[in-house]
């Protein structure tokens, strides 16, 4: 049959939805639930695209979209460091055009990458929830940006303190 089936139970009522994808099955089940309880008027004005666009994207994805729009590339490199307590930490460096930013040391590569992408977005003034890379930005390119010494110094201080 090749169909996905999703059932939802709420307040003693179970609805079932079938679809060619999991998403379709879930949406059909949810629509059935909404109709059964007569609460569809609360959801009539919500368009699917609006809810998906408003969902917060991770900073790495927003930076990637920004770079695509500006014909730039975000290049990430990882540095592994040893801490005094015999633990490892990672520093991720993100380079966009001629601009380079370092994350603070983090025990997780993924969190270090998210952090550095967020730093770069903040410096590019694009780290606004729901903002789109196609919106007009105050800065048109990365040429007028210079790495801030504060972030590099604070990363060095943190390493010395640990």
Domain residue limits at 9: 4-45
Tell me the pLDDT of the chain (162 aa) as tens digits. 688 999 988 888 899 999 999 989 998 998 888 888 777 665 655 555 544 553 578 889 989 999 999 999 999 999 999 888 878 999 999 999 888 999 999 999 999 999 999 999 888 864 444 444 433 333 333 344 344 444 444 444 444 444
Does the global pTM surpass 0.75? no
Distance CA 40, CA 38 (A): 6
Q: What's 88's domain CATH number?
A: 3.30.160.20
Closest CA to 92 of 161, 160, 154, 155: 155
- The residue count of the chain comes to 162
The domain tally of the chain equals 2
DSSP states along 76-105: EEEEEEE-TTS-EEEEEEEEETTEEEEPPP
**Same structural domain, 139 and 67:** yes
């Amino acid at each position: 049959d090749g169909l996905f089936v999703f059932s939802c139970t709420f307040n003693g009522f179970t609805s079932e939805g079938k679809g060619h994808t999991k998403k379709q099955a879930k949406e059909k089940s949810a629509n059935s639930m909404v109709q059964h309880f007569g609460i569809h008027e609360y959801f009539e004005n919500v368009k699917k695209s609006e809810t998906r666009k408003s969902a917060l994207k991770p900073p790495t994805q927003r930076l990637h979209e920004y770079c695509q729009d500006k014909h730039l590339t975000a290049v990430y490199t990882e540095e592994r460091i040893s801490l005094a307590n015999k633990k490892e930490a990672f520093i991720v460096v993100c380079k966009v055009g001629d601009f380079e930013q370092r994350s603070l040391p983090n025990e997780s590569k993924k969190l270090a990458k998210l952090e550095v992408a967020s730093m770069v977005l903040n410096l590019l003034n694009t780290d606004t929830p729901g903002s789109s890379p196609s919106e007009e930005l105050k800065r048109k390119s990365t040429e007028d940006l210079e790495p801030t010494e504060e972030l590099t110094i604070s990363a060095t201080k943190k390493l010395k303190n640990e």
